Amino acid sequence: MEFSSKNVETKANKTFAPSAYLGYGVHELKINNMEIEHAKTTGSPRVVFSMEGRPVKDPNFQGLEGCKGQVARVRSTFMKTEEQQREFVEKLTAMAEAMGVRSELDKIESNNIEDYVKQATGVLCGNWARFCVATEQYLTTEGKTKDSFVFPRFNFVESIDTKESKLKFDKNATYHFRPAVKPDSDTVGTAVSADAAEDLPF
């Protein structure tokens, strides 16, 4: 190999495009879509929120699927019990209040989760609010750390018109940031995704 610094571009001179993906923290977001997925073993439903942030002004930004802002998928908990179903409805109600569409959401009544979410999607999508996005990290089988985004149980959404925001992200609080547990040498290869872990019966 010939060692030479000619034509070598340093990192200081490189232009890096902003990520197409959102991270955890407090963001102004809108819901682009809501869809239901089911646990593989129990069949319990949960809702996946496709979220998008404010348009990114950086000319190097390349959004996903035509999105002008960074995106993230935020999952609800699996709804195995009526209490969890009520908590889910409470979350949607809090979102609707923050977005100013509570009266429209209150008109929806259904005994079917799929139908309810379909109708609620039409009410909530496209409206902006300020959200706190938490993460439950997990290890892939390759040992990489990934984020599984969730909304905290309390104080997770407010109107964008709120002048003094009460939403705070606390990385030291487990309900905001739950780091992945590094396995010891005896458990390497047993990592599971967050999706699989949530579906375990304990």
22: nearest Cα among 183, 153, 118, 134? 134
pLDDT at 16 over 80: no
Residue 3 covered by a domain: no
Domain extent at residue 52: 19-198
Question: Any idea which of 76-85, 162-171, 180-189 has the lowest mean pLDDT?
Answer: 180-189
CA angle, residues 168, 171, 176, in degrees to nearest 5: 70
pLDDT tens readout for residues 176-190:
999 998 766 444 444
Considering its fold, how many domains does the chain have in total? 1
* Residue 98 identity (one-letter amino acid): A
Q: What is the mean pLDDT of residues 10-18?
A: 71
Q: Judge whether residue 12 has pLDDT over 50.
A: yes
pLDDT of residue 14: 63
In this structure, is residue 24 part of a structural domain? yes
| Distance (Å, whole) CA 132 – CA 146 | 18
Q: How far apart are CA 30 and CA 20, in angstroms?
A: 15
Task: Note the pLDDT tens digit of each residue in 111-162.
Answer: 999 999 999 999 999 999 999 999 999 999 898 999 999 999 999 999 999 9
